[in-house]
Amino acid sequence: MAQEVRVRFAPSPTGYFHLGGARTALYNWLFARHNGGKFILRIEDTDRTRYHPDAVPFLLESLRWLGCMWDEGPEVGGSCGPYYQSDRIALYQQYAEQLIAEGKAYRCYCSSERLAALREQQHAQGVKPGYDRHCRHLTRQQIADYEAAGVAPVVRLAIPLEGETAFEDRLRGRIVVNNSELDDLVLLKSDGFPTYHLGVVVDDHLMGVTHILRGDEWLASAPKHQLLYDAFGWQMPEHVHLPTILDPSGKGKLSKRRQRGPGQEDQLTFIHEFRQAGYLPEAMVNFLALVGWSYDSETEFFTRDKLIRYFDLDRVSKSPSAFSYDKLQHMNAVYIRNLGDNDLTNRLLPILRAAGFKADFGRVLAFAPLIKERLRLLGDAVDMLRFALVDSLEYPTEDLVPRKLDAATAREILARTRTVLAALPSFQHAVTEAALRELADGMGLKLRDALGSTRVAITGAAVSPPLFESMEILGRECVLARLDEAIARLG
């Protein structure tokens, strides 16, 4: 039987969890589920200067929200822990020692000043930048001197001076680089922490990772990793470098930071922001899956189960793709439309309450079918339902007078509307609609024109959910009161 598939998502806690990370996590998760394997979460917190304390909580929360539960990792544990690299320091040091002992790595005592000067000089001379291997062949005496001076060394991998290194990328095929292009990369920093390169190789091996799906910014360092695997005598897992996600114009990389040009709307990039804005996790997952992967020429909507069933590395794209907020919104709107009324209401309530409304379930539920097909984001409901959740409306009085009418006419319409509605035997929308149609006819007005003032009077806006249904839910008392208020304002 084939080896169990084990994949991992290994973010660095340096900032909030963003789109690119989410896509990578999702692909790993889908791949694991598709193959009945394990999805491991590992925190690569080896950079103490860039560490951000909020990062991990936001990450875990977002992953859970997206439904990408990890089988091993923080909070759930597992047999290959610990899952924070900062808790595995001794391990990396031990492996670094081993390579030194075998002559495959060496201690480097060069100061960062010297390295900076070296780079500057190389730049000025127009030669290829890189470490000059100053410490690769130090004498016993030189080493003793450095040690005596208390210089804290780094550990560097001794890259073969000649030959080439090749590895296989699942998507791009065989990639070969000349070893002369490769630097003696740092494995262990002078503070004793591993660099990404050492940490990732040691952990992926120790954790039994079989496939590495990661962003293609790593493609260039894969040959170095191959050399590291070779140095340890380990087999390198299969690599899949996922294409970059570009900004909506398709011209630049999607910034992790807020990118906002003149006249441009805010572009969300952090997962918790999408959640706050009212995106559904199922829409998010569906859409994210399609950024760099496709099933066929037409299918775009997939349930989670279908995604798991269909996800296939062979259909992952090689080229970068722009992130289309328009399309995400469209997809979100479709998902919202397909929600049951109860479900939608439950998702709306926390948002409405957060916006300051004392929204009760029954009222929101009643409006759910009315607003469902008008929402693109759950958050749209805040403005859409304001009139239904608030005691008194706020709107400029002049809004009561539609463009083609004058104030006196508007007032007359409102007054007659009030009279008609007050006299009706029932307030069901079919009844009120019939009555107001008749009224409009009698006044020689089109319904749409006759309703203009009334809509503003009842909802405070010229655009609203269907008026008659809304009035039925609000109830006669509320409707008449609002009409009175409007009439008074025009009087």
Partner RNA sequence: GCCGCAUUCGUCUAGCGGCCUAGGACACCGCCCUCUCAAGGCGGAGAUCGGGGGUUCGAAUCCCCCAUGCGGUACCA
**Interface with RNA in residues 204-243 (CB under 7 A):** 216-221, 243
Identity of the residue numbered 165: T
Q: Measured in whole angstroms, how far is the alpha carbon of residue 209 from the centre of its chain?
A: 25
Q: Does 265 bind RNA (CB under 7 A)?
A: no
Q: Does 111 bind RNA (CB under 7 A)?
A: yes
Q: Which residues contact residue 408 at a Cβ distance below 8 angstroms, ignoring those fewer than 6 apart?
A: none
- For RNA, the binding residues in 330-389 under the rule CB under 7 A are 330, 333-334, 337, 373-374
d(CA 216, CA 242): 5
Task: Name the one residue in this structure whose structure tokens are 């340096």.
Answer: 14
Smallest gap from residue 1 Cβ to RNA (A): 27
**Residue closest to 45 by CA, chosen among 76, 73, 5:** 73
* Residue of 256, 306, 318, 327 with catalytic role: 256
Q: Does 258 bind RNA (CB under 7 A)?
A: no
Using the rule CB under 7 A, give the single segment among 33-41, 246-254, 358-366, 393-401 that binds RNA.
Answer: 246-254
The answer to whether the peptide bond before residue 396 is cis (omega within 30 degrees of 0) is: no
Q: Does 190 bind RNA (CB under 7 A)?
A: yes
Among 56, 469, 482, 486, binds RNA (CB under 7 A): 469
Q: How many residues bind RNA (CB under 7 A)?
A: 91
Angle (nearest 5°) at CA 60 between 57 and 61: 80
Give kind and range of the element (H or E) at residue 338. none
Q: Does 82 bind RNA (CB under 7 A)?
A: no
- Stretch 386-425: interaction string toward RNA, x if CB under 7 A: ----------------------------------------
Q: Does 73 bind RNA (CB under 7 A)?
A: no
Q: Does 15 bind RNA (CB under 7 A)?
A: no
Is 256 assigned a catalytic role? yes
Residue 357, SS3 per DSSP: coil
Using the rule CB under 7 A, give the single segment among 64-72, 95-103, 274-282, 461-469 that binds RNA.
Answer: 461-469
Among 16, 167, 193, 357, binds RNA (CB under 7 A): 193
Q: In terms of residues, how long is the chain? A: 491
Q: Does 162 bind RNA (CB under 7 A)?
A: no
Tokens read off for 29: 């998760």
d(CA 277, CA 449): 35
Q: Does 465 bind RNA (CB under 7 A)?
A: yes
d(CA 293, CA 299): 12
Q: Does 447 bind RNA (CB under 7 A)?
A: yes
